[in-house]
């Protein structure tokens, strides 16, 4: 099975090819990942460091407030606009059925008809107004624009995660959303020899421990209303945790060591069959959007 445009020596490409070999039906999706993930990994993340006193960090986390909430990030908007344009161009070249829509988005970015700054501010403030307006003007799927904006922010968010994570060492955080940016967990990992459960943020890559017997959405810890779904009764390395109280679900994998942030999307793709299983049983992933800008 051969994917297009990838360098075989690139670890991300090798990882994607391994996923496709195990699940050939993911070939088309893997092509998109192949053009996007190296761009995100290689981008420097153009954002100024955030200075937070330890007392403020402790107070925020104790109140259940992600560290970046209420912080006016100093982003290099021109660089992020460039990344958004590179992503749109790459997806236009290998975007499958969405190629024409990516072309419209790319041209709008080049011509200034799509304001990346306003788009990012709207997205991270939890508003869909700019996305909806742009989608109507460009006759494009709003989901494509939304995903493009979120991805263009990922390198900056990962950089801040690397900067701020050492500062929270030893401080308790047992919420189901990210302690840094507030996004919902992309998946759970059982790490180290004790198999401690960790949640992983798909937006910034953050990693935090979480109780094994607790729903990451509603906090339900009644074992009578929590259960597991296995895709294969003989394979106990991946499964879905489901909650009867809120009907939410979380994919969980054995990892032992944390998955690098740039490979979390690959793990999410590789476990796509778990999403199908959970949703077929009536469970859902409850979206939690990041909100990292001050208005």
Tens digits of residue pLDDT in 95-131: 567 889 999 999 999 999 988 888 888 877 777 888 9
Same structural domain, 53 and 88: yes
On whether the CB atoms of residues 39 and 90 are closer than 8 A, the answer is yes
Give a yes or no: residue 159 inside a domain. yes
Same domain, 146 and 189: no
Three-class SS of residue 74? coil
pLDDT in tens, 33-77: 998 999 999 999 999 999 999 999 999 999 999 999 988 889 998
pLDDT digits (tens, 9 = 90+) for 188-215: 999 988 889 999 999 999 999 999 999 9
DSSP 8-state code for residue 241: E
pLDDT at 187 over 60: yes
In a domain, 28, yes or no: yes
* 135: in domain: yes
Structural domain span for residue 186: 173-280
**Top-confidence residue, 94 or 173:** 173
Instruction: Check: CB of residue 266 under 8 Å from CB of residue 12.
Output: yes
The number of distinct structural domains making up the chain is 2
Verify that 134 and 185 share a domain, yes or no: no
Q: Do residues 140 and 178 both lie within one domain? A: no
Of the three residues 166, 197, 222, the one that is the final residue of a domain is: 166
Same domain (yes/no): 112, 77:
yes
222 and 118 together in one domain = no
Q: Give the domain-ending residue among 166, 187, 204.
A: 166
Can you give the pLDDT at residue 291?
A: 47
Measured CA to CA, the distance from residue 33 to residue 263 in angstroms comes to 10
Residue 57 buriedness (CB in 10 A; 0-12 / 13-18 / 19+): middle
Q: What is the pTM of this model?
A: 0.89
Q: Distance between CA 62 and CA 118 in Å, rounded? A: 32
Using CA atoms, how far residue 252 sits from 192, 225, 236, 260, in Å, is 14, 18, 10, 16
């Amino acid at each position: 099975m051969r994917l297009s445009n990838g360098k075989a020596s690139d670890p991300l490409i090798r990882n994607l090819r391994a996923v496709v070999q195990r699940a050939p039906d993911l070939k088309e999706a893997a092509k998109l990942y192949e053009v996007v993930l190296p761009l995100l990994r290689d981008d420097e993340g153009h954002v100024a460091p955030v200075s937070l006193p330890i007392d403020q960090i402790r107070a925020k986390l104790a109140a259940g407030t992600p560290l970046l909430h209420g912080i006016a990030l100093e982003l290099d908007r021109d660089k992020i606009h460039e990344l958004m344009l590179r992503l749109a161009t790459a997806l236009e070249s290998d975007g499958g059925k969405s190629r024409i829509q990516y072309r419209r988005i790319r041209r709008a970015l080049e011509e200034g008809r799509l304001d990346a700054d306003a788009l990012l501010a709207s997205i991270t403030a939890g508003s869909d107004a700019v996305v909806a307006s742009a989608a109507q003007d460009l006759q494009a799927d709003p989901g494509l624009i939304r995903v493009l904006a979120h991805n263009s922010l990922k390198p900056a968010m990962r950089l801040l995660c690397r900067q701020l994570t050492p500062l929270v060492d030893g401080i308790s955080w047992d919420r189901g959303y990210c302690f840094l940016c507030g996004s919902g967990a992309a998946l759970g990992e059982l790490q180290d020899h004790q198999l401690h459960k960790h949640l992983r943020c798909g937006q910034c890559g953050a990693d935090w421990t979480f109780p094994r017997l607790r729903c990451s959405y509603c906090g339900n810890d009644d074992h009578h209303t929590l259960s597991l779904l296995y895709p294969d009764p003989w394979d106990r390395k991946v499964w879905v945790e489901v909650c009867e109280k809120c009907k939410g679900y979380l994919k969980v994998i054995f990892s032992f060591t944390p998955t690098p942030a740039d490979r979390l999307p690959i793990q999410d793709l590789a476990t796509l069959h778990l999403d199908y299983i959970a949703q077929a049983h009536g469970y859902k992933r409850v979206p939690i959007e990041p909100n990292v800008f001050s208005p």
